[in-house]
Structure 1
Amino acid sequence: MIISDMLRALRVRWKLQFAILLMVLGLTIVWIAMTPRSYVATASLLFDDRAPNPVEAPAATTATAATALGTEADIIRSEALAGEVAAEQKLAQKPGVVANWRSATGGTGTVEGWLGRGLLGNLEVVVDRATNVVQVNYKSQDPEEAARLANSFAANYVNTRLMMSTDPAKAYTKWFEERTREVRNKLEGAQQALADFQRERGIISTGSIDAESTRLGELSSQLSGAEAISAEARARASSSAAQSTDVQSSGVVQGLRSQIAAKSAQLSQMRTEFGPNHPEMQAATAELAELRSKLASEIGTTSNSLHVASTAASSREAQIRSLLNAQRARMLGLAADRSKLEVLERDVTSARAAYDSVTERLSTMRLQSSLPRTNVRQLDKAAIPLMPASPNIPLRLFMAIVFGVMLAISAVILLEWLRPRVRTRSGVEQISGVPVLSRISFSRSGIMPLLEGGTSR
């Protein structure tokens, strides 16, 4: 068959092609009308990684964003979450639902779990790899139900994420409260042991031991000074009273000696003039004897004071030596107590550090258990869809047109193949093998309708 004849046939049989196209479109419209409508509502969730955690410090994570979002999508598709949605929407209260559940499962499990598994068949979770947004799509024949269930899945997921964050914190809070009581008791026990030991040994703190060491050094210095003073006092007391430096330097002794020397010189001069029984000689002799008696008395008094000072210095030396020996004995006892005291103080420090650490973690857990939200929030709420998602009417109509055109062309080709006709000059030349010399137009002739019907060759 020549292509020009085929094109001519397609042009001539346009009514047949149009009828076939209309038939296909009609069948498609009937198919669309008989197909149940299903609507898809979409809710979106935003995972904000930049949202700061008010309780915990930022921590590095090895999971990629795609892996994390994939995990969250699995949580949304979980049967547990679907069961919560079924319970929230009170689907079990619809007539006949419980009977259908019992007939389908024999009463095994819960009706909410069974309904949740049914809901998952119409749920689609789409993860956008380029963003942190997850879309929750729900398909239903009722547009309002599709929007309601899509929003319910999104809202219940947000609540589930919050519970997944706060419930472990609440459990850890109870555990840390018990640990806090334990470490508090250990701290109080360590402090009590330290206080008892200090009270028993008379130690206030390690600083008091250092003070005792300082006192020992001071007593050693005082003893050295007391020994020097005592030695000097003994040396003064043991020397001759008349030759003693203290006696020689005494103003009273020096004055008496001067008086005695003057009185002796006067008496020597009077001996040349008077006899021994002369009243003046006797008076002068008596005065000289009195002066010498006073000098001897003053020398004795000074000598006694030196002995008293020597005795006092020796007593002071003995007293300081006794205190030093007692302090040395005390320091020997404190040397052993110091190690024990340091051990007890380390126990108190360790117990206090453990108590501070546990109480800090307890405060963190208490705050985390009362967090109002997580880093996930519902970005967009699902709106009631206006157009059905299926059937896709434009697509089906387009496919019907394409299929109708192809079917119409195929029908014309089949008819031309079953009943071939010559419709062009090229066809005549190909069949007859001779060129066409002339062409007669019957377009305005009454024979044209007959020619259009054509005759087979």
Structure 2
Amino acid sequence: MDSNTLPATESRNWLREKMDNDEIDLLALWNTLWRRKWSIITLVFIVMVLTTLVVMSITPIYRAASTLLIEQKGARVLSIEQVYGVDGSGNEYLQTQFELLKSRALAERVVRRLNLHTHYEFDPAQQEPPLVDIRGMLKNFDINQFIPGIVPEDLEEPIPVSEDEIIERVTRAFMERVTISPVGRSQLVRINVDMADRFTAAAAANALAEGFIDGQLDASMEMTMSATTWMNSRLSELRLNLQTAEDRLQSFRDAEGIVDVGGILTVTASELSATSDRMIDARRNRAEAESEFRQVQAMRSGGWERLASIPAVLSNPLIQTFKAEEARARARVDELSSRYGARHPAMEAAQSDLNAARASLRTQVEQIVAGIERNYQLSVANEQSLRRSVEENKEQIQDISRKEFQLRELQREVDANRTLYDTFMTRLKETTATSDLETANARIVDRAVVPEHPIKPRKSLIILISGIMAGMFGVGLTLLLSALNNTFKSIEEVENKLNLPVLGILPLLSKKDRKAMAHMFSENKDKTFAESIRTIRTGLVLSGIDKPHKVIMVTSSIPNEGKSTVAANLASALGQMESVILIEADMRRPTMARSFEFAPGTAGLANLISGTATLEEAINIVDGIDVLSAGVVPPNPLELLSNPRFKEVLDKISQKYDRVIIDSPPVQAVSDALVLSTHANAVVYVIKSDATARPLAIKGVGQLLQSNAPITGVVLNQVDIRKAKKQGYNYGGYYDYYGYSGGNKA
């Protein structure tokens, strides 16, 4: 529905809904993606091709796996495992075994057993050189002569590496290729080795399983041999340590005369807490007294009047009473001074009362100030006294706490030595009866076999994921660019966002001067442009078939959108059928004088309104139409257009011509267009394609609708037809396709 058929209230409500509507238009998003479909498909194809080339160049990795069964040992009465703290049951035990399978020592055992440090996957000398040899380039190019010290000296002569360092490096690299994973909720564990050499991968997986079992047996035998000897020697040391700790504890009790430290500490702590609470109150009172004292000190130089303005003084009831008396006395003096002279008895009595009130107020202020100073001194003294008491209590508590700490430390040492001695005595008796230290707790269930198929890279999945990611990136980039470009690019966008009909579109022209743009229709140099102007003319005429539009205003959102060009060429098109006058009402930035090459100082609309020129003197004939330029630019164009004289001039012109075309200033620049719209029968709104921001146009149309402007339709100006067709926009019905010539387009 055409917006000018809506009531003004409904139009304003529609515009408000348009500006506040934040819903996502899925159809618009789909159209945006559809217009860029080939770009997105091309991006996906290129990324998938590149990914395929990269994936094909990656070395395949094989995984060999062996399976171990780690048996949980039941708790035995006499077991050496309790000597070194290994529990043979529970999830913690199994987790410990898993971590042992990941240990560096086991990995080093396998590296030495299989001589992996000579394998081509771990020996850099046997690997293919990198595509870009940075070390070689730096060695051949002495950059130190340009920037001294930037290249370390070791790049010139490599430092020899020992065999142990090589083994350590290979061990770390081999550990990165090993993964240990439990099998479900069982006691089985799978040892996985990932390598490019599938035969070595199987051998390494089996070697890890065998090495783990060998390590368990070796550890058990070693502990069996050393446990008894070590515990015997250690037991004698523990006995001596226990005796020494007990002697030190007793000596400390005797030396300090300690009976009960806890009771004394509790009483002293209670006194300290009470004193601390009192000191906190005293500190708060001192802070308040100090604040009042600082205010007094700051105000003392200003006399007793400034002291009376201090909040502590002002809040005193007596001060408020004396101030009230002073105010009444002053009011009495002010009242009598308007009737009597200074020597009148009533005036002298009132002045005497005022002086007495001020003296009383001053005396009371000085007394309160003196009280504030005394209160501050007492607060400071009280705080210092309480602080000394707190410090004395702290010193006493600290002394008792030090003794208590030493006593408890000695007691803990005695308890720890006694517990350790009893534990070792028990474990020594158990160890002598242990008979199963040489058994292993693991066995191989499945040995690793040579894998047939690599586990990575998963080429098809990688290529598919890369295509999906490229597609998502293309879609996201397309939507982002579309969201950032919030301009009008199609007829549908104009009609959907503004709810206004599009009268026509004007193609993007090659760069021309302003004079050529104003004469494009009359000179008929561009067939496409001329046909587009005729389409706009037809739409404008048909929109007022029942009630012809006498006064037509052409405006836009901001300057440089082509409204003056549209107005001039539309006037030329209408001038072929009717008597037309083109009025330049944009008196802030007039352009018609330059476009039509009027002589400097040519009279125009401003002269006509101000009465300094007649209509015949101000009108110029150009291309078969009458043109009324702006004339001498006034200092107050808005006041001139709001003058009743302008309406009289416009009515007079309307009686003489069939059509009156008004070139109006932009809506967003000044408010002149809103004033002019009240005199128009039709308003043509010009929008520059791919340049005018949607919020600006919506706001401009809204301002016109709020002023009850009869907006007839929109002209989409400077449309790049080639670019628009590539992006999938269609202008059928608004653009003369058969008259289109690509040679004269930008």
Band of TM-score, shorter chain: 0.3 to 0.5
- Normalising to structure 2: TM-score of the pair? 0.28
TM-score, normalised to structure 1's length? 0.43
Relative contact order (C-alpha < 8 Å, sep 6+): which is higher?
1
